[in-house]
Amino acid sequence: MTLSKRIKRLFQADINHVIETLECPEYMLKLSLQEMKSCIEQTKQQCDVHQKNQTHLKHTILELNNRYLKQEKDFELCLEQPDQDLIKRQLRKKLELQKMKDYKESLYEQQEQSIQTLLVQLEHQKEKLEQFVHRQELLESKPQNPTSHEPTTNSQWHVSEDELELAYLKQVKNKKVKVEEGQ
């Protein structure tokens, strides 16, 4: 047998195993549960990162506000001086601080929206996970042979071989008696 035929048979066997595994609903459900749990964990991590960024932005905005207020006071003092260049430099600093503050505030709002979106997404993922866990519990509570509507052999309704044989003999005897009476 050539090497290529062996490799081909190996891949076919692997593919058949994968197909058989995929056809197993319990396995697919467990795989889906694992994927959903990892998605939930990733969403939580993203939310944590956004919250840390938002906290950092909040501190930055507070610092910019303090700097802006100080710059505004400095600008007011410069207005009392006749030096136009000094006034323009102070005004430029004030405007730059205002732009930075506005930009950071817009980032803060974007972070807030992202966090809210992630929290909604996280809640939705948790609901889906609960549904899948419920489905798994239902699958596990079903009998091993889902096509059979008969009780399993371990149930209280189990009929032993002896009971079956006696019932069969009684049925045969009753049938013979009815046939003889009918003649």
Q: What is the mean pLDDT of the chain?
A: 81
Please report the pLDDT score of residue 142 as a whole number. Answer: 67
Say how far apart CA 30 and CA 22 lie, in whole Å. 11
Please report the pLDDT score of residue 42 as a whole number. Answer: 92
pLDDT tens profile 22-80: 667 677 777 778 888 898 999 999 999 999 999 999 999 999 999 999 999 988 988 88
Contact 47, 119 (CB under 8 A): yes
Q: Is 82 helix (H, G, I), strand (E, B) or coil?
A: coil
In terms of C-beta density within 10 A (0-12 exposed, 13-18 middle, 19 or more buried), how is residue 50 classed? Answer: buried
Please report the pLDDT score of residue 179 as a whole number. Answer: 59
* Nearest residue to 61 via CA among 127, 21, 108: 108
Joined tokens for residue 178: 């009815």
Dihedral sign, Cα of residue 123, residue 124, residue 125, residue 130: positive
Which domains does the chain carry? Answer: 3-143 (1.10.287)
